[in-house]
Structure formats: C-alpha cells, structure tokens
Structure 1
C-alpha cells in the first residue's frame, strides 16, 4: 500500500523529500533503489519505539501511515504526529480504531494539524461519493456506501494476501457498528438489506464492519440510517456465514479460516473432500438462486442516498465511471497521495482529526483522481449520478 502512495507522490513536484520509514529496512532500501529518485530517503523504524518515532516525524510536513493493524498502531502514530505538529493521513478501514482516532480531534486541532482518517478507497473515495449523493438532496436521511460486485482486478491476488483476508474476516466477527434510527448501534454483521439503486433496481447487499457509518452521521446530522455493505455473489456470502459461525463456535481456528477462505477465493481446496463438497454445494446453491432471481450488481464502489428534494422523496446513486487500474493497493493509496497533495497545496484547510467528507472538497479530489483512472480525460466528469423518485 505505502509503495503506491510513494510512487504517486514522486510523480509530482509537491514534495522535495520523501522518507520511507519501515521496520523491514533492507526491503525499504531495495524499493528505494528501484525507484532511483534522489528525493527518497530510507530509515529503519519500529513505531513501538516512541523516541525513534518522534525523531522520524520531527521536521516532516506530513506523515502517511499505512501501518496496520490500526487497532494496534493507529493512535500511536497519530499521537506522535500531534506531539510533533505533523500533518497526518492514514488508510484505516477498521471501525473500532476509527472511533479512537476521531476522538483525537480536539488534540489535533490544538496542535494546528490536519489528520485525515480513512483516506483510501473505502473509506475515502466512498465518503466523497456519499457527499456528492447527499448534495443532490435538500435533506438526506439515508446514506449507504457499498463495494464489491464479485469482480476484482487480476492485480489484487486476494487469495494470496493473508493480511487482507485476515482483516476482511475480522470485520465479520462479533458485532459491528451502524447508524440506525438516528443513533449508532451495535449489530451482527452480514445482515441483508436491499438497495433500490436508480437505473439498476433492487439489489441485495450485506453489512460489514467499516468506518463510514461512524463518520458520515457526524457530517450529516439529519441522517437516520447509514451502513457500509458489500455486494457479493450469494455463494461467497454463504461461505462467509459458515466461516464466521465456525470461528465463533471455536470449531475452527481463526488463522485456519483465513487460509481456507484464501483457497475459496482461489477456487481451489486442499482441506479435504468433505469440505470441498460442502463449499461446492454452497457455491452451486448460491449461483442457482442468483440465476433464478436474476441478481443484479451495483458499481464496484458507490454511494446511495435517500431523502427529500423539493418536497418529494428521492433516491440517488453516485459511482465512478472509470476504475483505478492496478488492483487494491492502487485503488487505496493513489487517493491517499492525492489527499496529501491537496493538503500541501492548501486545498484542505480544516484542522483536527476527521474523515474525508468533513474536509476534502470532492470536486477537486475527483478532478485530480481522473488521470489515474480508465476514463479518458475528454469524456467529462468521472462521476455517474443517477436519481429517481423513491417508491
């Protein structure tokens, strides 16, 4: 993730010096050597060493933290940034540490720094899509962010990335926090709801633990409902339900479930004939249901809003017309680099700790993002906005 942010920043003249701070010093040096840019420096750093972390941040204009998991390291880096009066961005997509990071708003503001929490894809792009969707209404009461579609880039290698799968599964265990009936509540994940997306129709999606429902109600006080949801094939949802249930019943260790899920995503199974039959049955059943019901899919990343416009109930969908090539890392950290550039250019002037919707201008952001997408520059706006009366 961090490598993409660095490469993106090097493509501009915004920063005269970029320091890679990593515990894996030799790997960082090798990466810097491959970049071949004299602006890049490398230091060894374990963020658990407070003195070394302070020394690394002294004199820096901004720090981009891609150190995970954020429930362990998120507030450590931000508190050090506050102490050293260094602007801060991260790609935190855990809802629990997001609560803790946003709680440092007063301290960040007092230090005169900007800390953008969740400056990636989801959260990040998704939050700014939500801002654009809400702007189509006089009053917004429902604001959901959705990702998925069962389509992924060949560059992602999700099945081989145990860290991604570990985090993904963790967001489906226990309880998650959503905004319901005007209040934050803790509920079970994988709850099904249907989104009546304009131009597509009613699409079943499933809830997952994510930061957007934590931050969006802070910016939109009229909100009654907000969740983050995934739009996945029914067979995948069935497997996820099975894995999370077995983890909570302690019939399978968490790491074994992560490994198994990797094999499912890779469409291979070496865990035994019986397990293969069970998962094959789940996939077959899910695929059959989708054929019968003619399931539709939402855009890969979208925001959906409901509210009133000129006294009428209206629903709105906003998505990107082009994709960011390069897989998950590019989709996540190109936005991070863009927000860092906006911050240094004076286009983000709010101080404190906040999510992108509270301080990043979506129009400026998406204009900067367009050249990194598959949409030709001459085709107009990167965004596709659809609106219809609520039924």
Structure 2
C-alpha cells in the first residue's frame, strides 16, 4: 500500500506525522511544490517515506506522481484552485482520493454535476471530499444527530472565531475572502440557493465561556453535501462570526472596500487580495487591527444544530466543540483538529470501513457515532450537548 500525501504545510505535514507513526509498514510519498519542504519532512519521518515535487496544476506531473499509488490525500490549498485538477488526475489514474476541501464551489462543481459520480463509479474509485474538521467532523456530528431523530428537517452550523490578525495567515485570508465575498451556496426551503456572503446575520447563542455572537453566511461544503446525502432536509445553513463583534464589522468593511478582489490593480501589479494578505501579516497591519480580547475566551467554538421530530415531539439538538488555541505557535502543533480528523478518515479507509462508492463526503462514508467517539478518545476533546423538546400534536 502506497499513500501519496500532497501538501507539506502545517495540516499536510501533521497528517503525515500521525500516519507514519501509527502505520510504519506502509509506503509514503510526501509531495509539495516546494521540493525542499517535502525533502525536509521525509527526512524527519524516515522509514518508508520519500519526497517528490508536486505541481497540482500540471497534469503530467500529477500523472507521474499517481503511478503506482493506491490512495491520494490532498492537503494543497486553496482548494478552489487545487481540488478539481487533482480529482481529475485521480480519475485518470483510477486511484482513490481523500481531501479536506473547505470551499463551497468545489462541492458545487462535484455534487451538482451528476457526471462526476458516474465517472467515479466507472473508474471504480472513491472520491471522498471534505474530511477535515469543518467540513468533516462537523458533517459527521450533524449525521449523528440526524440518526437520533425520526425525521430531520434542519441543520444549522455556526463557528465563532476570535478576531486576531496573528491567526489570519495569507492562506487563511485567501480562503476566508473566497467564502465570504459574492454569493455563497445555502440550502433553503428544500432548494440550493445563492445567498449573499457575510449576509444573513443571526445571533447565535454559544455555550459558556462563549456568549451570543452574530454570525453570517459563508460558503462551505456542508451546505452542499449534507442535503445531498440526507434526504428530506428543508434547511442547511452555515455561518461564521468573529468576536468581539467589532471583528465581524472590520471584516465586513474589508469586503465592502473590495479587498477580497483578485483582479490585478493597474500600475501596482498586485490585486487587492494580495495586498490584504501582505498587509495583515505585517507588523503595522497586526497593530492596526488589534482588538481587546481580555473578556473573551482564547478559543474557537463550532456549533452544530439539528431540528426535527422524535416520537411526535419537535426536537432541537445541539453539539458544540470548544477548541482552545495555543499560546505559542509550534511547527507540529496539534491544536488544530484538522490533521487528526483527516487521519481518522484515512484509517477508516485503510480498515475497509468507508461505505459507499463513487463521489462521497464525510457524512456518507463513516459510521457517525464511532467516528465522533474515536475523535473524542484520541484528542481528549469534549463536546457540549443540549436538547430541547417541544411536544405538539402532529394531527392538529
């Protein structure tokens, strides 16, 4: 068994570290556009790991890399540029594929076009997208709550993030602008609908030590794949907000000023987005956007709410995960749950525990209860669960 791991950034490298430590008998290829990064990681991991250069936008390069490979894991962002080219290569090579795609338009391209499912079936492979923390763990938690109901009608996801310029790396800014500018896909009244990014303001009541914070529509794969695989849903929404609220207002102002645009400015040679990514990573950018967080938790909250019916009662079930942020950043930090989430999906695949064929997503491919339990056991993560029931006469 040979696994090709594309991308040697923080997430990709930590997935490799976890896999090699737990499965040293397998062969691995770690690949990155920066060959030096791949070679450094391969030397660190040792054993049956070799390095390669990977240009995910070069079909010939990908075809050569996929030769003799049994599974590809894609951690190369941004996924709105990388995912489909790598999936096309997987289809050509008839190689199973897993990624941590978190861009809504990739999910739309794949799931709203039935040809991708048919092509994957014809190739006899599994294409599993969105196997990180969100989407990924978020989808599986939603599926777990749905399975506990007789009828599921609505799924609402929300995330609260402290507004800290130091956490907004150039890659994060690129992704965040991509999923908040323009129109983003939501599932409303039983239909896929484009909604205004960073619109749909909703006050979300998070559990302590968090408070209620406003959240806004974002483009993520959950709103595409959850209604695709869970039939009968009427609503699936996904929102995010910064705290304190001034952070969300700053983000809104940057969108309104066009700083998320990718067109090159004549005479400057860079786009507004390129300027923004450099500005926010500079000392002056960090200082100018620093907000007072002294009364806020140093953590991120992810909330999954599912509404439906059980035994004739209207039920609202909520699970929150609170993720403490590290005080100091380290190269192999395990504070980000994404590498562990991805590794658990890969291990489910290796164990033959991924169900379904063709084009799949996190919620359709693993046993939800078992996956969430394994994540909690292996990370020490705690989940805050609550449920309210409103009895009503269904025949009234």
Q: TM-score range by the shorter chain?
A: 0.7 to 0.9
C-alpha distance after superposition, 1:103-141 (max 9, x if no partner): 422211222211111110110111011112222322111
Instruction: Return closer, same or farther for 1:151/1:361 CA change in 2, 3 Å cut-off.
Output: farther
Greater mean alpha carbon deviation, residues 362-371 or residues 120-129: 362-371
- Quick check: 1:81 aligned with 2:90? yes
> Of the candidates 30, 37, 41, which is equivalent to residue 40 of structure 2?
30
Contact 1:81 1:88 in 2 (8 A): yes
Q: CA RMSD of the aligned region, Å?
A: 3.3
C-alpha distance after superposition, 1:172-205 (max 9, x if no partner): 1111111111111111122212446789996532
Distance across 1 between alignment mates of 2:23 and 2:259: 50
Instruction: Quote the residue 1:339 is aligned against.
Output: 345
Distance across 2 between alignment mates of 1:232 and 1:223: 28
Instruction: Quote the residue 2:359 is aligned against.
Output: 353
Instruction: Quote the residue 1:108 is aligned against.
Output: 120
Instruction: Return closer, same or farther for 1:341/1:47 CA change in 2, 3 Å cut-off.
Output: same
Instruction: Return closer, same or farther for 1:77/1:123 CA change in 2, 3 Å cut-off.
Output: same
Distance across 2 between alignment mates of 1:327 and 1:169: 25
Task: Pick the structure with more helix per residue.
Answer: 1
C-alpha distance after superposition, 1:36-69 (max 9, x if no partner): x211111222223323312211221110011222
Q: How does 1:63-102 map to 2 (within 5 A)?
A: 63-102=72-111
Q: How does 1:20-169 map to 2 (within 5 A)?
A: 20-35=30-45, 37-102=46-111, 103=113, 104-150=116-162, 157-159=166-168, 161-169=169-177
Partner SS for 1:213: helix
> Of the candidates 360, 368, 379, which is equivalent to residue 373 of structure 1?
379
Instruction: Return closer, same or farther for 1:364/1:185 CA change in 2, 3 Å cut-off.
Output: same
C-alpha distance after superposition, 1:64-101 (max 9, x if no partner): 01122222221111121122221111111110011223
Instruction: Quote the residue 2:315 is aligned against.
Output: 314
Contact 1:198 1:315 in 2 (8 A): no
- TM-score relative to the length of structure 2: 0.81
> Of the candidates 250, 266, 274, which is equivalent to residue 255 of structure 1?
274
Deviation at 1:6, TM superposition (A): 0.3
Contact 2:260 2:273 in 1 (8 A): no
Contact 2:78 2:171 in 1 (8 A): no
Distance across 1 between alignment mates of 2:237 and 2:228: 14
Contact 1:179 1:225 in 2 (8 A): yes
Distance across 1 between alignment mates of 2:149 and 2:300: 21
Deviation at 1:298, TM superposition (A): 10
Unaligned runs of 5+ in 1: 270-278, 376-381
Instruction: Return closer, same or farther for 1:222/1:127 CA change in 2, 3 Å cut-off.
Output: same
Contact 1:315 1:388 in 2 (8 A): yes
Distance across 2 between alignment mates of 1:186 and 1:328: 35
Aligned length, in residue pairs = 362
Instruction: Quote the residue 1:305 is aligned against.
Output: 306
Partner SS for 1:336: helix
Q: How does 1:232-243 map to 2 (within 5 A)?
A: 232-233=242-243, 234-243=245-254
Deviation at 1:206, TM superposition (A): 1.8
Partner SS for 1:226: strand
Contact 1:174 1:188 in 2 (8 A): yes
